[in-house]
Amino acid sequence: MGVRVESKHLGDVIVLVSDVFRDQRGFFHETFRADQFKELGLPHEFVQDNHSGSVKGVLRGLHFQWEPPMGKLMRVTRGTAFLVAVDIRKGSPTLGRWFAKQLSDEDGRQIWAPAGFARGFCVLSDYAEIQYKCTGTYNSRCESGIRWDDPEIGIDWPLREVFLSEKDRKAQTLAQWLARPESEFFSHTQLSYSQSGQRS
């Protein structure tokens, strides 16, 4: 019972699963308990909750923030979406590699991706809502993005015709990000990161 680790990817990206109880009245789903997350070595102090709604074909990402560093616990609360995390940590053995999983409001799964990963999603159902808990508050001066179709990363998106914001359409490549001095905030060799997504 409770939240369980289903699988781990790229060292620090974790798929969590918990039971959804359904009957003729509807459902009940316990998605977060600080004591259980702490026991699993996962973040248990979140400072911001975000809730996004999008129509089919909308792609948001790949986003990240370096100050304060922002880890995200993501889940789909309506519909179906393809969630992605990309390792952008300098010196990481999995730099530039990606993990993705299709989640829905039926499966009771969540994905934890700490700071140092660029995150995004693409909506597959007619409409979907994604909610995510963050370990850092939003700071527009210290956030950026990577191109969703950067060939150096090569994400196998399930849709090729997508709807993007102007900011996401103009996002940089991974190589351009790694050439920026700010990328040192996610240096795997110079900085260490706790599961909470905070620099230590």
pLDDT per position in the chain (200 positions), as tens? Answer: 588 999 999 999 999 998 878 888 988 878 888 888 899 999 999 999 999 999 999 999 999 999 999 999 999 999 999 999 999 999 999 999 999 999 999 888 999 999 999 999 999 999 999 999 999 999 999 999 999 999 999 999 999 899 999 999 999 999 999 999 999 999 765 444 444 444 44
pLDDT at 47: 96
Distance set, CA 114 to CA 17, 79, 99, 194 (Å): 17, 24, 13, 9
pTM of the full structure:
0.90
The residues annotated as belonging to the active site are 63, 132
pLDDT at 196: 45
pLDDT at 189: 57
Radius of gyration of the CA atoms of the chain, in A? 16
Stated as kind and residue range, the H or E segment containing 35 is helix 34-39
Distance set, CA 147 to CA 49, 93, 100, 119, 155 (Å): 24, 21, 16, 11, 10
pLDDT at 104: 96
